[in-house]
Amino acid sequence: MEVGIFATESEVADAAAEHLFAVLAAADNKVLGVATGSTPLPLYQRMRAAHAEGKFSLEDFKAFALDEYVGIDPEHPERYRNVLRTELVGDDKTGLKDENLFTPEGNAPDPAVAADEYDAKIKEHGPIALQILGIGADGHIGFNEPGISLVCRTHTDVLTEQTRKDNMRFFDNDIEKVPAGCVTQGLGTIMDATEVLLIATGANKADAVKELVEGGVSALWPASILQMHPKATVLVDEAAAAKLKLTDFYRGRWEATHK
């Protein structure tokens, strides 16, 4: 696991964009894994800017989302398919084509069947060359909440109270409006990506980042499974890095390998 520590959220996004452009330019398989939440938004802004300058395009790429709510109004702007359309799809964004954006079908008659189908689709088109990830304050990635199997595949689940509280800012600050269920890539599915890029910013992520990078691998902190990934890059700001022990080592190694 490589850890990059930067002074500001903006510098984290710059580093994430640089990393993503390099990895995708060299990718054998043109498939990107995308995430929602607030954290990746500055990265998506940089991807759009690079596309506008003619330096980057997802025109030839497929994109697979990490997760989706179950039972959300298809027109709701917070439906993750709609969020990702707004951020990435179209020539005025990153060049990604709508038919090449895959999201779990949270409104399928049987979301569990849709979850299996989604996992199969990732296998069919995969491996995902680079999976972008955020992290929850409780250490979740995707909607893999504490207590989850470390090898699970795409599945349906219920959201924890904490995650619904964290997300209610997108739903008129009303927890009752936050969907109670989700379909999410499982930890085993995420681990199949050739590379993963996790971004975390802000002091409320400091505990999760400490457990992700330096804790024991444990279902209590689902993101910690990424310690077992051969190519994981974790980019954090100072606030999110505040509880890490080996920061001098991470900084020195980052400088040595990113001249």
Block residue for tokens 């890539």 = 185
Q: How far is the CB of 79 from ligand PGA (least distance, A)?
A: 15
Cα–Cα distance, 190 to 192 (Å, whole number): 5
Residue (33 or 136) nearer to ligand PGA, CB: 136
Sheet holding 155-158, edge to edge: 67-70, 181-184, 155-158
Catalytic site includes residue 117 = no
Catalytic residue among 67, 119, 157, 166: 67
* 237 catalytic residue (yes or no): no
Asked whether position 131 contacts ligand PGA by CB under 6 A, the answer is no
Q: Are 95 and 51 in contact (CB under 8 A)?
A: yes
Stretch that binds ligand PGA, among 33-41, 80-88, 189-197, 241-249 (CB under 6 A): 33-41
Say whether 138 is catalytic.
yes
Closest residue by Cα to residue 243 from 5, 14, 15? 5
Measured CA to CA, the distance from residue 39 to residue 87 in angstroms comes to 13
Which is nearer to ligand PGA, 144 or 156 (by Cβ)? Answer: 144
Annotated catalytic residue within 68, 87, 119, 145? 145
User: Residue 141 corresponds to which tokens in the numbers above?
Assistant: 């990635």
Q: By CB under 6 A, is residue 222 in contact with ligand PGA?
A: no
Token match 């359309």: residue?
Answer: 85
Q: Tell me the closest approach of the beta carbon of residue 259 to ligand PGA, in angstroms.
A: 30
39 binds ligand PGA (CB under 6 A): yes
- Find the catalytic residue in 9, 68, 105, 138: 138
- Nearer to ligand PGA by Cβ, of 124 and 172: the residue is 172
Q: Which runs of consecutive H residues, i.e. helices, occur in the chain?
A: 9-25, 41-52, 80-88, 111-125, 161-167, 187-191, 206-214, 238-241, 247-257
CA 11 to chain centre: 18
Using CB under 6 A as the binding rule, the residues of this chain from 134 to 193 that contact ligand PGA are 134-136
**Catalytic residue list contains 140:** yes
CB-nearest residue to ligand PGA: 37
Enzyme catalytic residues: 67, 138, 140, 145
Site residues (vs ligand PGA, CB under 6 A): 37-39, 134-136
